[in-house]
Amino acid sequence: MILYELDAINEQYFSPYTWRILMALNHKELYEKVERIQVKFSDKSPISHKGFNTVPVLEDNKNWVGESLQIAKYLDETYPDKPSLFSSKENMHLTSLINLYMDPKILSILARIIVFDVYKVIQPDDKIYFRATREKMLNKTLEEVEQESKKFIPIFQKEINPFRKLLKNNDFFTGDKPTYCDYLLFGFFMWARNSSKKQLLEKDDVLWHWRDRMLNLFDGFARKSNGYKIV
Ligand SMILES: N[C@@H](CCC(=O)N[C@@H](CS)C(=O)NCC(=O)O)C(=O)O
């Protein structure tokens, strides 16, 4: 099984969507079978010959699957004897809805906080492409975005409020065990952790404690990855 992800300096792999799948592969007890291959923003030839333009992409027994949510569904359908990522069909549909709702909003707020930090950890060859595409996306230079980045931290904190409510009686979003719903938001936190030193959560936040539990999962898999320690 091969997982294609984005390259980074110092192995600070940050792609939020790939992080969802890294957690999902651990959850499915399949991570040991996976070879990780890094793709450059400026050279996507390892995946583009199969029609893909974004990572993650999973190659498994001649099956090529793109889009993180599709990969998660594929893993659950293909390996039903392993722990389920969604626990039921109903949960899968609800999680898909949450995914589609949250991605554009949270991505755009968080990008305004960390995009300049991400720029610093991408490979030198990728900088021209990254600057051009992200400045177009954000309609500002990366330096201008960085200047007002701190202003977006409280906005980000407010945007994820619904998730706090889910933790009122549970350790994870859908109960006492993590499911793909947890990996959705956690992927964004790993994007930040592995590229940026900015503090996104306060220590008295239930989400701070949830993120800590997530970092501990699978023998500290995410915590062991190269990034900036969350203190
Ligand atoms: N909806 C896709 C989004 C994937 C995505 O945007 N991946 C980014 C990396 S985090 C990417 O590959 N970007 C390539 C580019 O910007 O050229 C998913 O869930 O997999």
Tens of pLDDT, residues 140-193: 999 999 999 999 999 999 999 999 999 999 999 999 999 999 999 999 999 999
52 backbone dihedrals φ, ψ, rounded to 5°: -100, 145
What pTM was computed for the model?
0.98
Tell me which residue has its CA closest to atom 6 in ligand 1: 54
Cβ atoms of residues 62 and 30 within 8 Å: no
Check residue 231 and give its pLDDT. Answer: 63
Check residue 187 and give its pLDDT. Answer: 98
Cβ atoms of residues 228 and 196 within 8 Å: yes
Check residue 229 and give its pLDDT. Answer: 82
Cα 76 to Cα 23: distance, rounded to the nearest angstrom: 13
Check residue 183 and give its pLDDT. Answer: 98
- Mutating to test ligand 1, I would choose from 17, 21, 194 the residue with most ligand atoms within 8 A of its C-beta, which is 17
- Ligand 1 center from residue 55 Cα (angstroms): 5
Please identify every stretch of the chain with a pLDDT value under 70, giving residue numbers as ranges.
231
- Which residues, other chains included, contact 36 with Cβ-Cβ below 8 Å and sequence gap of 6+? 2, 3, 5, 13
Check residue 160 and give its pLDDT. Answer: 98
User: Does the C-beta of 16 come closer than 6 Å to ligand 1?
Assistant: yes
Please, what are the domains in the chain?
A: 2-78 (3.40.30.10), 89-220 (1.20.1050.10)
Check residue 62 and give its pLDDT. Answer: 94
Q: Which two tokens stand for residue 84?
A: 């389920």
- Which residues, other chains included, contact 72 with Cβ-Cβ below 8 Å and sequence gap of 6+? 20, 21, 24, 85, 86, 180, 183
Q: Are strands 57-60 and 35-39 parallel, antiparallel or unpaired?
A: unpaired
Q: Which two tokens stand for residue 71?
A: 């990969």
Check residue 230 and give its pLDDT. Answer: 76
Neighbours of 135 (CB within 10 A): 16
> Which atom belonging to ligand 1 lies closest to the Cα atom of 14?
10
Cβ atoms of residues 26 and 224 within 8 Å: no
Diameter over CA atoms, the chain: 50
